[in-house]
Amino acid sequence: MDIVIIGTGNVATILGRKMLLAGHRILQVFGRHPGRTAGLAERLGADPVHAVGDLSARADLILLALSDSSYASVAGSMPHTRSLVVHTAGAVSLQVLKGCGDRYGVLYPLQSLSCELDEIPDFPLLIDGNGEESLQILQSLAAGLSKIVVRADDDTRLRYHLGGVLVNNFTNHLYALTAAWCEKEGIAFSLLQPLITETAVRLARVLPAAVQTGPAIRHDAVSLEKHRRLLEGSPGLSALYEALTKSIQQFHHKK
């Protein structure tokens, strides 16, 4: 496929590299920032462009990988096109692209992606399209990029997006708070790494509820009290400790 990429951030970079590896041609990279646009275009063997009027009419696919709030304005500024136009957002409706042309869709990577990744991880691709033709093109493109391709409408994609925020963004924030707390207390966060990895790996085989351990599920009052005293100087972590302890006890009481 001949592809134009709009955006120069994390997803534009990773999907662009994946598409190139899968044998597609990236014709152009469109961006606002001259340095970032030229850098990604060079990496993908594409031409950098900065005006929507210069977008190639030869593209089979135009991929928009933008901040969620900018899809409507960027899509609205694009000339009507015969290319299939897709966005990559979990929480943005497919319909934001309806003015772009006859065929539009979504190619949403269910993974945390960052420009700096050396090795591109595997990730499910959730696809949607405005009709069977758009869906079939996207199904065939996505199958060349990922082993897991799932059709998901706006509502379903939003639910997966929220699931991703809960299991990834929130746990990572807990890691960040814990790392800062470890530093303050003079202990090594790195010693907790095997614990993080072991639980994450186990979850491929068993349900999370089955691997819950710790003082909250055991109602171990003495240990809980010791922890509370240690967190007295950390109000943010202390509030989370209380909320999560209560949640674990209520969840496992109900079962």
Ligand X SMILES: NC(=O)c1ccc[n+]([C@@H]2O[C@H](COP(=O)([O-])OP(=O)(O)OC[C@H]3O[C@@H](n4cnc5c(N)ncnc54)[C@H](OP(=O)(O)O)[C@@H]3O)[C@@H](O)[C@H]2O)c1
Q: Which residue ranges make up the site for ligand X (CB under 6 A)? A: 7-12, 31-33, 36, 65-68, 70, 73-74, 88-90, 108-109, 112-113
| Nearer CB in complex with ligand X: 48/248 | 48
Give least dist CB 179 to ligand X, A.
20
| Nearer CB in complex with ligand X: 119/132 | 119
Q: Give the alpha-carbon dihedral of 54, 59, 63, 64, to 10 degrees.
A: 20
| Nearer CB in complex with ligand X: 52/244 | 52
Give least dist CB 67 to ligand X, A.
4
Nearest residue to the partner ligand X, using Cβ = 9
Residue 25: φ, ψ to 5°:
-110, 130
Give least dist CB 191 to ligand X, A.
28
Q: Give the alpha-carbon dihedral of 231, 199, 167, 129, to 10 degrees.
A: 170
Residue with tokens 């462009």: 49
Give least dist CB 74 to ligand X, A.
5
The encoded tokens of residue 159 equal 């639910």
The encoded tokens of residue 130 equal 């405005």
Give least dist CB 142 to ligand X, A.
14
Residue with tokens 């970079």: 13
| Nearer CB in complex with ligand X: 32/219 | 32
| Nearer CB in complex with ligand X: 10/234 | 10
Query: Strand locations in 97-202, DSSP E?
Result: 104-109, 125-129, 149-151
Residue with tokens 């109000």: 235
| Nearer CB in complex with ligand X: 165/174 | 165
Question: What number of CA atoms fall less than 13 Å from residue 255's CA on the CB side?
Answer: 10
**Residue 241's Cα: distance from chain center in Å?**
27
Give least dist CB 251 to ligand X, A.
28
Tell me the one-letter amino acid at 190.
S
